[in-house]
């Protein structure tokens, strides 16, 4: 439907995309269009995959139809983004061409298990609905042996998640009490959540090893063999497993790479405060971005940052289109819960833009923080998807 207003194209229906589209629809003129594009019809709240993994959630409980946003005035296009012409703010979705006045890229990170020979066939992908569901089913049939948790690259989204997964699986198997098992965590990274600083890294490692989970940092997986149930690492070391859960390598979506929007890091470069790209009228938020921080590392890829960045971009774009000064900035603060099992969770929060290094505080696991994570899941669905 033609209007006299302008159009913003929001690419991606994850955390950043949902927040950006919802906020813009409220803040823009009624004549302006907000078009949300995603390949899937449903929004998946990825934080809850951890609970799905151990049978504490069903798949339908951690998803909501993106069509709920249509009821609030957002236009929805479901399909594969095959091309992005950033300079002309044009996006191709399957055979449909969309024209915008601004683009917000919130496509997240594509998962690339195929980058490690044999990995996809050998185990279950923690960061996918199918993988988490498959692991849950395999765990229910598990009759003992070695469980391996592997991170296939040193950097990945939600840095706490695989550590939480190991601890939750440990709790689940101990509760069963009918199997002999050993969990080993093979990490490509040198320490848990190292971007948050050495104190946080040491505390998370203590949580994991305190549960008798074997922790093996600096183990870069080179290949996996489903037939022999063997992992081979770049050092030449090998490890046997009976059940494998992995975090695959990540990469920017193909359409974004082909649009030459990525830098040497392989991700989209943005202004760390405003999330503007080098292309006028094009913004990027969340996991698809690479943002250097004062410590020399990069801002972790996490939903909490995607949320905050989307709020900034939506506010500033609406202000700009209304003729006001765009005055919001992303400040680099964030927080996350760290599930440890037995109905407990830790809680970390702080400032990643602090100099010379992130200023983080990690609170000890308790039932209070676990309850906080449960309540946040409920709040998220109520806030963005209620009718």
Of the candidates 197, 385, 384, 193, the one whose C-alpha atom is nearest the C-alpha of residue 307 is 384
* pLDDT score of 386: 95
* pLDDT score of 137: 98
Locate the domains of the chain by residue range: 7-109+252-331, 118-249
How many helices (DSSP H) and strands (DSSP E) are in the chain?
A: 10, 25
Query: Are residues 27 and 48 in contact, defined by beta-carbon separation less than 8 angstroms?
Result: no
Element (H, E) at 89: none
Same fold, 7-109+252-331 and 118-249: yes
Calculate the alpha carbon distances from 124 to 104, 120, 127, 138 in Å: 31, 7, 9, 9
Report DSSP state, residue 194.
G
Question: Would you identify the CATH topology of the domain 118-249?
Answer: FAD/NAD(P)-binding domain (3.50.50)
How would you write the pLDDT of the chain (387 residues) with one tens digit per residue?
344 799 999 999 999 999 999 999 999 999 999 999 999 999 999 999 999 999 999 999 999 999 999 999 999 999 999 999 999 999 999 999 999 999 999 999 999 999 999 999 999 999 999 999 999 999 999 999 999 999 999 999 999 999 999 999 999 999 999 999 999 999 999 999 999 999 999 999 999 999 999 999 999 999 999 999 999 999 999 999 999 999 999 999 999 999 999 999 999 999 999 999 999 999 999 999 999 999 999 999 999 999 999 999 999 999 999 999 999 999 999 999 999 999 999 999 999 999 999 999 999 999 999 999 999 999 999 999 998
* pLDDT score of 1: 37
- Taking the domain 7-109+252-331, which CATH number applies? 3.50.50.60
The predicted model scores a pTM of 0.96
């Amino acid at each position: 439907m033609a209007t006299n207003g302008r159009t913003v194209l929001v690419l991606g229906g994850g955390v950043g995309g949902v927040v950006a589209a919802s906020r813009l629809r409220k803040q823009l003129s009624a004549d302006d269009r907000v078009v949300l594009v995603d390949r899937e019809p449903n929004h998946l709240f990825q934080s809850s995959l951890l609970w799905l993994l151990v049978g504490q959630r069903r798949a339908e409980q951690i998803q909501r139809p993106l069509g709920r946003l249509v009821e609030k005035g957002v236009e929805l296009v479901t399909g594969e983004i095959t091309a992005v012409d950033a300079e002309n703010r044009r996006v191709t979705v399957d055979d449909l061409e969309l024209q915008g006045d601004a683009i917000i890229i919130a496509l997240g990170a594509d998962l690339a298990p195929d980058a490690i020979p044999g990995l996809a066939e050998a185990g279950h992908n923690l960061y996918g609905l199918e993988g988490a569901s498959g692991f849950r089913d395999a765990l229910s049939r598990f009759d003992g042996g070695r469980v391996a948790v592997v991170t296939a690259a040193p950097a990945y989204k939600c840095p706490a998640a695989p550590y939480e997964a190991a601890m939750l699986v440990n709790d689940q198997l101990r509760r069963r009490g009918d199997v002999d098992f050993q969990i080993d965590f093979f990490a490509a990274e040198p320490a848990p959540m190292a971007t948050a600083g050495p104190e946080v890294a040491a505390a998370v490692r203590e949580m994991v090893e305190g549960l008798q989970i074997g922790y093996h940092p600096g183990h870069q997986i080179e290949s996996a063999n489903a037939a022999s149930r063997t992992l081979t690492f770049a050092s030449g070391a090998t490890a046997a497993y009976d059940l494998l859960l992995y975090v695959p390598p990540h990469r920017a979506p193909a359409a974004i790479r082909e649009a030459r929007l990525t830098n040497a890091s392989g991700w989209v470069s943005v202004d760390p405060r405003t999330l503007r790209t080098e292309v006028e009228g094009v913004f990027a938020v969340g996991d698809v971005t690479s943002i250097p921080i004062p410590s020399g590392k990069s801002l972790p890829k996490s939903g909490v940052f995607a949320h905050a960045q989307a709020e900034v971009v939506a506010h500033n774009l609406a202000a700009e289109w209304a003729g006001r000064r765009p005055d919001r900035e992303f400040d680099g603060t964030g927080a996350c819960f760290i599930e440890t099992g037995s109905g407990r969770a830790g809680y970390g929060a702080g400032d990643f833009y602090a100099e010379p290094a992130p200023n983080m505080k990690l609170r000890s696991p308790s039932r209070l923080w676990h309850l906080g994570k449960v309540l946040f899941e409920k709040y998220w669905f109520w806030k963005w998807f209620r009718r």
